[in-house]
Structure 1
Amino acid sequence: MATPLLSTSLQQLLTTWLVVDIKEVNLTGINLDSRQIVEGDLFVALQGALLDGRIFIDKAISQGAVAVLSETTIESQHGAITYKGNVPIIEFYQLSTILSALAYAFYFPHHDLHKVIAVTGTNGKTTIATLLANCFTLLGKRCAQMGTIGNGVFGQLKSSLNTTLDGISVFSELFDYQIQHQVDYTVMEVSSHGLSQGRVKALPFHSAIFTNLSRDHLDYHGTMACYADAKKRLFKEFPLNHRIINGDDETGIDWIKEFPDAVVYGQNAQQQASTFLQINHIAYQAKGILFSFDSSWGAGDISAPFYGDFNVYNLAAVATQLLLEGISTQQLTDIFPQLTCVPGRMEQYHFDDADITFVVDYAHTPDALEKALSALQKHKDKGRVICAFGCGGDRDKGKRPEMAIIAELFAEMVVLVDDNPRTESAEAIMQDILVGFKRPDAVVKINDRKEAVMHLLATCQPGDIILLAGKGHEDYQIIGETRIHYSDRELLTTLQAQYNKKDKEACL
């Protein structure tokens, strides 16, 4: 993203890594995407796993790039310079490894970055990041967030394809938040992919929160040990002021032993660390949850309009970070009831006339599905908990029967639907899931999600709660290689409006 507020010389930018003997080149932007290049930009051409950015060098120059860094895998070529017209093309050995540091040097040459808080773990990242941004806003602080549901100032998010952006876009966004919006904080979801690929390698995080670790992304990491190590890099390799760790998670317990300065939250936190927030006395109410806590900053009570034990932990993580920032326990008590629902995270849609409730949640791992269904079992007053879910194609196949086991164990009825089949056969995915059921004959199969919702709306009993899992905030499905528009949230909002209109007309 180019911006007229930035200007630096190419020679000055590269001075840490390479001395270039060329006439002075002034840069006003830096970009990986040739389609976004504007006059004055530096084009960074990486040799990606799927696409070689060097094939777009000519296009970038035609759009105004004034210099090019071209990644080479041959060490002896490092620093070699050729020209396209007047534009220098500089060969850079293993360029991707310093991309984050290069972007940091360009966007924050004086290292005057605002406080950036990282959130990592298998489940809970989006909820914690959103609730923390929500809290800071309620407390009069300006806060941005970056992650799964989008990037931007709280309440003004722009959608994103990746949880963690590429190394240049991360700092470009942070610069925009700081200069254009004068934020005090950014809360960033940091994925295992982002850590493994060095997308935030140079980012000086203020603090980091670890939520939990359960099976996910084994198609990428291979083993749970490698997956855990990728997450731990955030706590081991970055100069954090605070390491906030869930003391009730098995992986978290191991990490607490390794990091003696850890700040711990959980139901056994007081026994694990000198700085802690201990969760006590959880109550499950019709409209939310209530729990008390003891902490290094004093005792208090927290209530919020959310469901489930996992949201107790999400709120406890948020509270711990706020207390470390000097927020009082009384302020926590005051602002937590004002928090709004995170899009696609246990989001409730009530159909009052039928007395049924749909709950949209992003749960797409065995652990997340179990937590969502367990939560609904605790909050239900009557009727059944029904689970509608599927599994994505071209992803970890091992979790498919595991999710079936969870659904059958924690729901009274299961409906299989499509998630993102991608290039796999939707029917083949369903067959993989069905292997995990003890009673596959009792499972209803309806591929089309809208058709499944309409079927459930017509056949459910009063008091039923239907978990519509897997898509959450997403507004698309990927079928084959085509991305089509679809949103569980939009569908249910439309159906609610239609049913409410019918109810009103019936009363006239």
Structure 2
Amino acid sequence: MGKTCAELFAGIDCTIIGNADDEVGGIAYRSDRVQPGDAFFCIVGFTADGHSFAQDAIDRGAKVLVVERKVYLADATDVTEVVVKDTRKAMAVAAANFYDHPSAGIALVGVTGTNGKTTTTYLVEHIARVAGKRTGVVGTVGICIGDVREKSEHTTPESPDLQRLFARMRDAHCDTVAMEVSSHALDLERTWGTRFAVTAFSNLTQDHLDYHHTFEAYFEAKARLFSKDYPAKRVICIDDKWGKELLRRCSVAEDSVVTTGFDPSAQIHPADVAYAPTHTSLALDVRGSRYAFDYPLVGRFNVENVMCAFGIGLQLGIPPEVIVEALEEAPQIPGRLERVSAVCDGGVSVFVDYAHTPDALEKALSSIMALTPGRTICVFGCGGDRDASKRPIMGKAALAADRAIVTSDNPRTEDPRAIIEDVVSGMGAGAGRFEVEPDRRRAIARAVALACPGDSVLIAGKGHEDYQLVGDRVLSFDDRVVAAEELERAFGSDAAGVRAGFDGLAGDGEKPAEEGR
């Protein structure tokens, strides 16, 4: 499949220097991935300028260079240059053109917000399946095309990868696709040129301020998905001021909006909720009609996700009775308040959750504490090379637990102990109620050792991830697997000896454990 330059750049304000009838065989934005016949887009990034790699792209066989300024290179006489104002936007539109606008043939749902995106997209997929649709999912946990599951590198892929993915979904006859849309993706034009049937907003809490710098800039990035740039039906949670502002804007634009929230003025809001360790009983007021049902997810924040998914289902034209039927059999979302299964657990409940923002950690702890007859122990850390300003706030949030263990998350290129020091700086009010263990496995083992029957352990921050990023290494590490192993060690046939050994770990204060390091 190929497109001429004229076809590829249709609808893009550009100047073609060369042959507009040249056929392009593919789209590349990294010179080391250029294939002969590709168009190479010179993306101006934060640390590198793609124009500097133009010669490398030509040497690898690129036939077309897409640039924001004229480049003068050796041996480029047969190369067509296309000059555009913004190579990122141009690449997104060109990618949609190249794959014949695949999102137009799919009922595409875009979900944005700080927390809840993954759970909501999985719930929407499940609802659509029960309604008889062939479905797809794009997001943090991975990619689903029908029954095929794949891993993903980004929450929202780069535009050529995203449009190629949509084309695969279209060709696999997917009817409905639910996608997480990150603020980065919106700001970096990854979704530009994509057509949405429904866009939904969950909430806005502190995250990514290392990138956006201010809450206002963070919000405006999210808000783009609800602007005239992305016409669609809307679902908006109005429990925070950001959702209320989105509602105001969409109302002015006369968009079709379904509002959700605990706020009783929301079109979908709870009339009654009862929380249990294994499920939630919910009576929803949906535009004046009441629907009562149980679903196998726990916690207040999952009520928010269920309401959002309900609203999306309505906007997709799915009858409320079908939505209720689907939610009653809702799937466990990987790494989202996922209970660890072990042959021997000693009466201790261990949950793994992706919570990596202060708000998400607070909500996860609140949900677990409401279901726990004993104490709640929290194991958590913060990622490196990410928003450092939230670290002390995360530490403070963790003090809601009866006991907290600060450990390493994905330190990336930062010193894990320096990250931990940032976290601990916010925990001054909890002296004697937390400790530090930089080794994540030992931290999980310590939490299990501290737990008694009836207690719960929350392991937060990594959720579904089966790796740990340390420097330039990707280490195999899955909180769910490690926790199951440690439960078995602590409460299996040799439990007494193992637990005696664990009692020596880390101590009762805040001094980092040094054994074996």
TM-score of the pair, normalised by structure 2: 0.87
User: 1:201 Cα shift?
Assistant: 1.9
C-alpha distance in 1 between matches for 2:367 and 2:248 = 30
d(CA) in 2 for partners of 1:21 and 1:424? Answer: 47
Q: Per-residue displacement from partner, 1:319-361 (whole Å, max 9, x unpaired)?
A: 1111222322222232212221111110001455411011100
Aligned to 2:9: 14
Tell me whether 1:121 sits opposite 2:113 in the alignment. Answer: yes
Structure 1 residues 154, 453: closer, same or farther in 2, change over 3 A? farther
Equivalent in the alignment of 1:3: none
Matched, 1:25 2:28: no
Contact 2:341 2:484 in 1 (8 A): no
> 3-state DSSP class of the match of 1:441?
coil
Unpaired runs of at least 5, structure 1: 1-5, 504-508
Distance 1:353 1:157, change over 3 A: closer
Counterpart amino acid of 2:262?
Q
Q: Which residue matches 1:416?
A: 406
Whether contact under 8 Å (1:298, 1:329) holds in the other structure is no
C-alpha deviation, 1:455, in angstroms: 2.2
Is 1:484 the counterpart of 2:475? The answer is: yes
- What SS does structure 2 have at the residue aligned with 1:84? coil
The structure-2 alpha-carbon separation of the partners of 1:90 and 1:268, relative to structure 1 and needing over 3 Å to count, comes to closer
Note the C-alpha offset of 1:127.
0.8
Alignment of 1:14-93 (within 5 A): 14-16=9-11, 17=13, 18-22=15-19, 24-61=21-58, 63-65=60-62, 67-72=63-68, 74=69, 77=70, 84=76, 86-93=78-85
Given that 1:346 and 1:361 are in contact with CA atoms closer than 8 Å, whether structure 2 keeps it comes out as yes
In the alignment, which residue of structure 1 is the partner of 2:334? Answer: 343
1:7 maps to a residue whose letter is G
Q: Which residue of 2 aligns with 1:206?
A: 197
1:133 aligns with 2:125: yes
Distance 1:187 1:337, change over 3 A: same
Aligned counterparts of 1:367 and 1:33: Cα–Cα separation in 2? 36
For 1:385, the equivalent position in structure 2 comes to 376
Q: Please say if residues 297 and 329 of structure 1, whose CA atoms lie closer than 8 Å, have aligned partners that are also in contact.
A: no
> Partner of 1:434 in structure 2?
424
User: What are the within-5 Å matches in structure 2 for residues 151-162 of structure 1?
Assistant: 151-153=143-145, 155-162=147-154
SS in structure 2 opposite 1:444?
Answer: strand
d(CA) in 2 for partners of 1:29, 1:192: 27
Check whether the contact 1:11–1:20 (CA below 8 A) recurs between aligned residues.
no
Whole-angstrom CA distance in 2 between matches of 1:357 and 1:350: 9
Counterpart CA distance in 1 for 2:490 and 2:38 is: 53
Change (3 A) 1:422 1:112: closer
- Gaps of at least 5 residues in structure 2 are 495-517
Mapped partners of 1:353, 1:173: distance in 2: 41
1:463 is matched with 454
Q: Percent identity?
A: 32
Q: Distance in 2 between matches of 1:457 and 1:347?
A: 16
AA aligned opposite 2:388: K
RMSD: 2.6
CA pair 480-82 structure 1, distance change in 2 beyond 3 A: closer
Counterpart-to-counterpart distance in 2, 1:128 and 1:84: 49
Task: Give the AA of the match of 2:7.
Answer: Q
Number of aligned positions between the proteins: 487
Residue 456 of structure 1: SS of its match in structure 2?
helix
Match of 1:95 among 87, 92, 115: 87
Answer 1 or 2: higher relative contact order, Cα 8 Å, separation at least 6.
Answer: 2
Distance 2:144 2:40 in 1: 24
Cα distance, 1:105 vs structure 2: 1.6
Contact between 1:151 and 1:158, CA under 8 Å: does it hold in 2? Answer: yes
